[in-house]
Chain A
């Protein structure tokens, strides 16, 4: 599904440049649930942003579902993001003047799905995350956990190939974190490919594979026995 070869990325900070990713090689197959771990500054978020086409790579190659991701113009990148990827952010990034349902329906709007179908689909995904009754509520009427569940529903609504989550539990307490992880595991059980960036070991252990980043290179890549989050809920 995802294939990365010899990926380099540096940021210019005034006169000197900061080499963040120093040659990353890694592949993700379909249906995997991967945790990318590392301390802050290890380059894990940068990696996720490149995977999500939110940022561009300097060197190396990136293939997503057989499509080489290279030299994309903004319009093409937007279309690929819309078709291939779903995003979940630490700070939820819901649009605050749109109701939960409208937020979930937004990726479908950019896919030019008719309005009625959009609403039906949005409701379906809200039901999947257990928030059907909250469909008409605005984000600021929801709790943190509920917001993240709306964000997950939104990421799922476009039926992406890969779900990318950047510290999805970073702003949540542990009980709520486990609820969200439980939801992510269930989505993964349905066969979706999911990548999670986290620095919390217990969250990482709920994935099937942990990739450890340090100073811009992968120092460890291991399969783990998945801890089910449902036992904590």
Chain B
């Protein structure tokens, strides 16, 4: 069946029936091309998703304080809960092994001036470890350090856009700026992958902020970075025991929905990854549909091809072609075309998604890619089903009596 002579006969048939060859080849190539592109783009979407949430550190809890909604241990409901410096110390002391760092966060927004330029910015008072939580990247100068916190220095670290707005081409390092009435020295400029909003921020030591606000020890929020080695389950357990600990300390009912709230980034990340996973399933489903459409397309063309060739097959049978050789030549021809065009479509698809890279980032697609094994698998599936789809009409054609086939016009 696979002799050189057979192949030559098939090549001649392919060469001399260009439209037919083109139609079946085009269907297969397009099917694979769309499949590869869809899977690639879905992967790119997932990449973007993962990047969104990798901008901030994922091993973080954000602790928020609110108003209680239940009476508990003699306290009335509606009591405002507040964090203070002792909470920072208690967390570090009680959860030493689980905790990487603890940082408070006090946001104030107000007018910031430098020479004749001024603008409204959020000034965030934090400790030195807050850099890890936000994954802040220093462009020049330095971030806040332990000494700044201890000595309550009037140092500020400003965002890239703050420097651009206030200083223009000038270098901000060492310059003094006016933050809502207090003068701070700029010691560093940072950038943040999350974009413009984050780069319009100013960081100052939280101790300095507390000093300015009448030497209070209150903090608005607390950021806890946990040891990444404890894993997802460990983080969930830590989340729970931290919640229990704080409720006990602040006399909040364990059943109270309000009072304090812990935002677990690890949990959110997991949920988002699940969402991205669902997206991938949807993309995969559509891609599978494309392959199915490709199979149906090639089946249709095979039926058409056999119908068109009925008379020719009748002539061949009259001249001595056996049913086996009729089926064989139709099948070999279709498998050959689908293989070549399938591989062609696959390579073009891979080349297209490979060349995209970050060009579609505006549409939430970053670095699309496809697993080569999956692409090859889809191509093989299409070829196999193309062959099966060709076999059925071929067998029918081989069974038609030559006299009937010859009468076909």
Contact = CB atoms under 8 A, between A and B. Distances in A.
Chains A and B form a bound pair: yes
Interface stretch (B22-30, B103-111, B237-245, B314-322): B314-322
B312 A95 contact: yes
Nearest to B324: A75
B16 interface: yes
Given A49-B403, A55-B401, A109-B9, A74 B323 contact: yes
B401 A75 contact: no
6 closest Cβ contacts across the A-B interface? A82-B320, A97-B16, A110-B320, A54-B403, A78-B322, A107-B319
Chain B interface size, as a band, is: 20 to 34
A75 B320 CA distance: 9
A95 B325 CA distance: 17
A69 to B, nearest CB: 15
A223 interface: no
Chain A interface size, as a band, is: 20 to 34
A90 to B, nearest CB: 10
Contacts of B398: 74
Contacts of A62: none
Interface in B31-78: none
Contacts of B323: 74-75, 78
Interface string A62-96: 00000000000011001101110001010001110
B402 A158 contact: no
Interface string B313-357: 011111111111100000000000000000000000000000000
Interface in B118-141: none
Contacts, number: 68
A115 B8 contact: yes
Nearest to B16: A97
A102 B401 CA distance: 24
A167 to B, nearest CB: 13
Contacts of B5: 109, 112, 114-115
B318 A74 contact: no
A106 interface: yes
Contacts of B12: 98, 102
A143 interface: no
B399 interface: yes
Contacts of A39: none
Nearest to A55: B403
A87 B312 contact: no
Contacts of A107: 319-320
B395 to A, nearest CB: 11
B5 to A, nearest CB: 6
B17 interface: yes
A110 B321 CA distance: 6
Given A95-B315, A110-B325, A115-B5, A81 B320 contact: yes
B316 A93 contact: no
Interface in A153-193: 154, 158
B320 A111 contact: yes
29 contacts: A52-B318, A54-B318, A54-B401, A54-B403, A55-B403, A74-B323, A74-B399, A78-B320, A79-B320, A79-B322, A81-B317, A82-B320, A83-B320, A87-B318, A93-B314, A93-B315, A93-B406, A95-B312, A95-B316, A97-B13, A107-B319, A109-B5, A110-B319, A110-B321, A110-B325, A114-B5, A115-B5, A158-B319, A158-B320
Given A74-B399, A97-B16, A106 B406 contact: no
A50 B89 CA distance: 105
A55 B318 CA distance: 11
Interface string A21-57: 0000000000000000000000000000100101100
B401 A106 contact: no
A138 B317 CA distance: 21
Contact of B319 (A82, A114, A115): A82
Contacts of A49: 403
B322 A75 contact: yes
A158 B321 CA distance: 13
A49 B403 CA distance: 7
B174 to A, nearest CB: 84
A97 to B, nearest CB: 4
B8 A89 contact: no
A106 B319 contact: yes
A148 to B, nearest CB: 14
A83 B322 CA distance: 12
Nearest to A151: B315
A54 B406 contact: yes
Contact of B402 (A54, A102, A115): A54
A118 B248 CA distance: 99
A82 B9 CA distance: 18
